Amino acid sequence: MTDRRHVRLFRNGRNQAVRIPVEFEMPGNEAIMHREGDRLVIEPVRKRGLIALLQSMTPLDEPFPVIDDPALAPEKVL
């Protein structure tokens, strides 16, 4: 896969547009565009929410430490 490709700009109504070549296609049907100096950067929309964040994380390879929890201790009778 190449990281550069010459493309042509064209007009789509009042908007300037560019066709995205197949090797640069992104998933979904929405993207975020922003300017960095004289460059336009197009990024796929990232999933939001706790479930998406947790699914993107890698599991820990270390065991959790044992913690004394007073709530789990047997009740003391006075």
Q: Mind listing the pLDDT tens digit for each residue in 9-41?
A: 999 999 999 999 999 999 888 899 999 999 999
Q: Is 18 in contact with 9 (CB distance < 8 Å)?
A: yes
Q: Is 31 in contact with 42 (CB distance < 8 Å)?
A: yes
Nearest to 48 by CA among 28, 33, 64: 28
Q: Mind listing the pLDDT tens digit for each residue in 61-74?
A: 998 888 888 887 77
Question: CA Rg, the chain, in Å?
Answer: 25
Confidence of residue 78 (pLDDT cuts 50, 70, 90): low
